[in-house]
């Protein structure tokens, strides 16, 4: 078997810890770099045939030919979403694999945590208590029980979120371009139109991928269709929401709460320490000023179980490639894996 020479971009100490632990079962030679993959850092892949990247590393159309010239034959994404690569261009050139599922619980539980924290104002209560202020004024919440939750995207994560919220006694409305009617029937909940999710929900949680169709799906006109004071949760991808329109909707009270684990221009800031610097992104800076907005740095996936699974699946994907096995986790541009799965162990292309 040819030897994989692997370079990991955009790594943090926790990535190294979990990958090194799992790598004891694989024995690969891995170089970890802190650098983010971008057009100006691409030369760092020289000498490696496997490139492992994360959510904010980008592969544009223009980068594919240089990557091939440098000898990259496999791109291994250590994440589920792949909106950061130009899939159409890479598809016929370099095999690209991902980790389609590692812990839907990590992300769904996090989305629900954002709902609870925003509703009961835990972020404010914590700072208040640290200031020896034990009052309750301004911390009034509402029972989630009996309220309506709208789940947009009912794949692995959305279905777990729906189950948890149903357990709270909420009415759960589902929307997906490909409804899972069996799931809805089993749960005793229903699929409705997107407009019905918007108009009836007290809480809306986004769990669909970022695609050209879902880009800015929450925008000025969708906000207008929602209840006044609605809570919006985004653990999907930042650009599902038009952040500038969100600021306007927060200012006029249309949106009552926003829980954002992702932000459309997050790549410059998220995962990095700017505590001795400043934020030059005025949209992000403005969003950070709202007391009814909680922003976190793309951390919904960040559980021990998820990191272990990510490491194991990524290394297994690399092993499969170099052993000439069928790449079960290859991202298929042509059929989105529908035909590949039907053909069992064969690519549709
Ligand atoms: P999944 O593929 O299992 O489910 C996605 C669902 O979205 C599918 O059912 C699909 O039919 C649906 N969908 C596609 N286009 C849609 C549209 N236009 N409107 C409504 N639904 C649509 O994916 P998943 O594992 O549940 O993950 C969902 C998303 O969560 C990922 O794409 C990723 O962007 C994001 N994610 C975020 C984190 C984080 O740490 N914040 C971690 C993992 C995944």
- Residue 2's pLDDT is 73
Q: Identify the active-site residue in 36, 78, 207, 237.
A: 237
Tokens of 91: 């598809």
pTM for the whole structure: 0.93
Q: How far is CA 146 from CA 111, 140, 149, 168, 171, in A?
A: 19, 17, 10, 8, 7
Residues of the chain under the 70 pLDDT cut: 1, 342, 344, 349
- Residue 263's pLDDT is 97
Q: Which of ligand 1's atoms lies nearest the C-alpha of 155?
A: 4
Tokens of 141: 């919440």
- Residue 254's pLDDT is 98
Mutation probe of ligand 1 site: the residue of 155, 262, 302, 341 with most atoms within 8 A of C-beta: 155
298 is catalytic: yes
237 is catalytic: yes
Spatial CA neighbour of 40 closest among 57, 24, 23 = 57
215 is catalytic: no
C-alpha of 308 from chain center: 17
Distance from Cα 130 to the centre of ligand 1, integer Å: 38
> Who lines ligand 1 at CB under 6 A?
80-81, 101, 104, 107, 152-158, 175-178, 207-210, 213-214, 235-237, 261-262, 298, 300-301
H-helix or E-strand containing 113?
helix 104-120
CATH node for 104-295 = 3.40.50.720
DSSP reduced 3-state for 259? strand
**Which residue's C-alpha comes closest to atom 3 of ligand 1?**
155
At the topology level of CATH, where does 5-102+303-344 sit? Rossmann fold (3.40.50)
CA gap 340, 125 in Å, rounded: 51
CA gap 263, 206 in Å, rounded: 13
Spatial CA neighbour of 208 closest among 173, 159, 272, 258 = 159
Please, where in the chain does CATH 3.40.50.720 lie?
5-102+303-344, 104-295
CA gap 276, 274 in Å, rounded: 5
CA gap 319, 329 in Å, rounded: 12
- Residue 1's pLDDT is 65
């Amino acid at each position: 078997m040819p030897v994989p020479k692997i370079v990991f971009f955009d790594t943090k100490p926790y990535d190294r810890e979990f990958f090194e632990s799992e790598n004891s079962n694989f024995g690969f030679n891995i170089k970890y770099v802190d650098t983010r993959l971008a057009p100006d850092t691409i030369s760092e892949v020289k000498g490696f045939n496997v490139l492992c990247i994360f959510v904010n590393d980008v592969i544009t159309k223009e980068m594919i030919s240089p990557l091939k010239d440098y000898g990259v034959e496999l791109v291994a994404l250590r994440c589920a979403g792949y909106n950061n690569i130009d899939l159409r261009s890479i598809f016929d050139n370099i095999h690209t694999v991902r980790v389609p599922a590692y812990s839907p619980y990590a992300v769904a539980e996090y989305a629900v945590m954002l709902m609870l924290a925003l509703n009961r104002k835990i972020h404010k209560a914590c700072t208040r208590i640290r200031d020896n202020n034990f009052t309750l004024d301004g911390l009034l919440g509402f029972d989630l029980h009996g309220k309506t939750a709208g789940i947009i995207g009912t794949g692995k994560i959305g279905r777990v979120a729906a189950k948890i919220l149903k357990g709270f006694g909420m009415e759960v409305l589902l929307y997906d371009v490909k409804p899972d009617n069996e799931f809805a029937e089993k749960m005793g909940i229903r699929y409705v139109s997107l407009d019905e999710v918007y108009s009836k929900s007290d809480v809306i949680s986004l769990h669909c991928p970022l695609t050209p169709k879902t880009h800015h799906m929450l925008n000025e006109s969708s906000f207008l269709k929602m209840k006044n004071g609605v809570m919006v949760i985004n653990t999907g991808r930042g650009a599902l929401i038009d952040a500038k329109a969100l600021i306007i909707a927060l200012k006029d009270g249309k949106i009552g709460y926003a829980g954002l684990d992702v932000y459309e221009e997050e790549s410059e800031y998220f995962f990095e320490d700017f505590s001795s610097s400043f934020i030059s992104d005025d949209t992000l800076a403005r969003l950070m000023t709202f007391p009814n907005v909680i922003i976190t740095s793309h951390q919904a996936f960040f559980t021990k179980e998820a990191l272990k699974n990510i490491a194991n699946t990524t290394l297994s994907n690399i092993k499969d490639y170099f052993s000439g096995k069928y790449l079960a986790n290859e991202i298929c541009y042509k059929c989105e894996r529908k035909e590949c799965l039907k053909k069992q162990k064969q690519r549709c292309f």
